[in-house]
Structure 1
């Protein structure tokens, strides 16, 4: 969950008029609260009667806040990916964080001093996300390319910078023709998996793994019910991958269905709230692990014994990564004489170690972070 320390929530001067994901740490002299996304460990402390300032978030997050927390619309200012607003002499640009629906990174520029900070919130720094960040920095004159420095670029970061330069050139010729030195003074970074051991695959590979396991389990037992662990917002791609591979629909609670609709991701071909729907092949439930998951699967079999002969649960999370699974499909934890099976699949909505390296590369990458790079842990395991 997100680290709950006041020192990590309020930005450093001269941006100290802003608090990010820190509603448990409101201060009397702060009226501007940036919210990166709608996960409960980032909204904790935010309630319907909040009146200490303005909450800045994406349109998707705003819809979730209004529907689930009851936060009044007058307390919210929306800013979506690619948009910029000026708040008391600070330019705020929203960037895609690649984490969950509506998730944002915030690039802040103090216009009077030139001081700049980038707050990633929770982030999956895929190549697309990194390219978008490069393009935004180029547009703002905050990026220099590798030919200005003495380091050899890695192939991956070279390709990203080239793509970003081309994107920025199409929009602002001057920025591409004469890029300025990068001037991000402070980086607030999602460090959930900041260890070399976490080398889990890109999301598309993990989704293909989910589909392959689903197909294999159906060959083993055609009357298999699949369970996908999920949050109230997030893991939507994993749910869809399993439902498609199973050839049916995913059953969701009314609350989970509402969040999909608020995020604009409801698909009547893939989702239902009708437990009697004959096309239900997948149940969506909160993420769980261990004995509790097998007990829940056993209870499902008891309730639906005539319909299903086996239950397979997926835990789509980066914590499920194991180097031993790289050679093939992950191995299940089997109970109940094979009738209940649980797979951990390293589908993550946070960055892998390699992605974090590519995002913050200071030694050999195309991007050179100038001045002082301060990496502040946004998350803890």
Structure 2
């Protein structure tokens, strides 16, 4: 190894795994099993550098116990709970979507005996490294289950209006990974199948789906009613709007009849009106808040369930420091320019007097 470091990777999104590849040798990367599969198979990180951790079980890593907690974000996404000398009980959230079960996982099991009844029922943490991506946004994001239920309602109505599953197509915009939950929920609740393009099979093989979920996927577009498509096929997430021409081209590529009713889902972290809608002719494009990061109201619920803790928002501090440095550099450059102008003016006056 070049450096004696230990690295922790919360999930497989490009803004987190930058710098990883086949030549990685700076230190072991501790992560979930799914994330480990992805960085090995997709990024070609050497297998001996990938350390998979089990979910919900404390594992000792260089003197500190590390527990993985489901982050409710994308396949394989986790939060890290660190416990031990020098760190106390510290939680690194990464990108996460709050749900009440997280608090139950964070609460250590009470010791047996009558003293357990006197303990504070709220989990106690010494420090939280919090995901504040949307903490400043006034919009209130709904619970994820509410989003999934709304998507099923839209799909059920479309199926009824189209006269059955053979006459309708649901397109779910996605990244490399991240929106499979909505597609699977539609398939389970409405008894549909999900088309997976052959080029996505390598990624899907890393995600460790259950046999029941795997049975819902197919590589035959003719056998499916739900498609996982690149995000830009359905539309843009900010501002949220449908790409009607892109959807038509996609349907033509698969040979789907033009008479088919199409519903495209633009799944975004923040879309203002969390259940908005763009419509052109027979192409409704709902925008739904899917598996992205949480808003202020959800973060408040999370912290309200904890014993008082000092949150650490280092990303914001680094940004402020960077802005201050840039401002100082601009001021220095301006001072240098003014000094040069003064020197040039003085030199011109001397030449004029001579």
TM-score past 0.5 threshold: yes
Question: Is 1:348 aligned with 2:299?
Answer: no
Alpha-carbon distance, 1:182 to partner: 7.4
**Among 26, 31, 39, which residue is 2:13 paired with?**
39
8 Å Cα contact 2:242-2:278 kept in structure 1: no
**Among 206, 209, 223, which residue is 2:150 paired with?**
209
Structure 2 equivalent of residue 164 of structure 1: none
Q: In structure 2, how many angstroms separate the alpha carbons of the residues matched to 1:332 and 1:116? A: 43
8 Å Cα contact 2:125-2:307 kept in structure 1: no
- Structure 2 SS opposite 1:71: coil
Q: In structure 2, how many angstroms separate the alpha carbons of the residues matched to 1:298 and 1:38? A: 30
Alpha-carbon distance, 1:204 to partner: 1.2
Question: Is 1:60 aligned with 2:34?
Answer: yes
Normalised to the residue count of structure 2, the TM-score between the two structures is 0.75
Question: Is 1:48 aligned with 2:22?
Answer: yes
Q: In structure 1, how many angstroms separate the alpha carbons of the residues matched to 2:44 and 2:87? A: 37
**Among 243, 261, 267, which residue is 2:205 paired with?**
261
8 Å Cα contact 2:170-2:225 kept in structure 1: yes
Alpha-carbon distance, 1:90 to partner: 2.5
- Structure 2 SS opposite 1:334: strand
RMSD over aligned CA atoms reads 3.0
| Counterpart mapping for 1:319-358 below 5 A | 319-322=270-273, 330-335=275-280, 338-358=281-301
Deviation track 1:335-377 (CA, whole Å, cap 9, x = no partner) reads: 2xx132211012234224322012223xxx55222xx442334
How has the CA–CA distance of structure 1 residues 247 and 81 changed in structure 2, closer, same or farther, with 3 Å as cutoff? closer
Q: In structure 2, how many angstroms separate the alpha carbons of the residues matched to 1:29 and 1:116? A: 26
Structure 1 equivalent of residue 336 of structure 2: none
Structure 1 equivalent of residue 260 of structure 2: 309
Q: In structure 2, how many angstroms separate the alpha carbons of the residues matched to 1:268 and 1:353? A: 35
8 Å Cα contact 1:186-1:375 kept in structure 2: no
Q: Pick 1 or 2: higher relative contact order, CA cutoff 8 A, min separation 6.
A: 1
- Structure 2 SS opposite 1:108: strand
Alpha-carbon distance, 1:38 to partner: 1.5
Q: In structure 2, how many angstroms separate the alpha carbons of the residues matched to 1:32 and 1:132? A: 24
Structure 2 equivalent of residue 248 of structure 1: 192
61-70 or 341-350, larger mean C-alpha shift:
341-350
8 Å Cα contact 1:124-1:350 kept in structure 2: yes
Deviation track 1:322-341 (CA, whole Å, cap 9, x = no partner) reads: 1xx7xxxx453122xx1322
Structure 2 equivalent of residue 368 of structure 1: 308
8 Å Cα contact 2:194-2:226 kept in structure 1: yes
8 Å Cα contact 2:64-2:84 kept in structure 1: yes
Q: In structure 1, how many angstroms separate the alpha carbons of the residues matched to 2:277 and 2:123? A: 47
- Structure 1 SS opposite 2:205: helix
Q: In structure 2, how many angstroms separate the alpha carbons of the residues matched to 1:75 and 1:359? A: 33
Structure 2: runs of 5 or more not aligned: 320-354
Structure 1 equivalent of residue 112 of structure 2: 173
123-132 or 214-223, larger mean C-alpha shift:
214-223
Structure 2 equivalent of residue 187 of structure 1: 128
Alpha-carbon distance, 1:305 to partner: 5.0
How has the CA–CA distance of structure 1 residues 360 and 321 changed in structure 2, closer, same or farther, with 3 Å as cutoff? same
Which has the larger helix fraction?
2
**Among 253, 256, 269, which residue is 1:318 paired with?**
269
Alpha-carbon distance, 1:176 to partner: 3.6
| Counterpart mapping for 1:1-20 below 5 A | none
Structure 1: runs of 5 or more not aligned: 1-26, 140-167
How has the CA–CA distance of structure 1 residues 269 and 28 changed in structure 2, closer, same or farther, with 3 Å as cutoff? closer
8 Å Cα contact 1:83-1:94 kept in structure 2: yes
Structure 2 equivalent of residue 121 of structure 1: 94
**Among 223, 234, 243, which residue is 1:293 paired with?**
243
8 Å Cα contact 2:173-2:266 kept in structure 1: yes
Q: Larger radius of gyration, structure 1 or 2?
A: 2
8 Å Cα contact 1:47-1:69 kept in structure 2: yes
Q: In structure 2, how many angstroms separate the alpha carbons of the residues matched to 1:78 and 1:40? A: 19
8 Å Cα contact 1:57-1:77 kept in structure 2: yes
264-273 or 76-85, larger mean C-alpha shift:
264-273
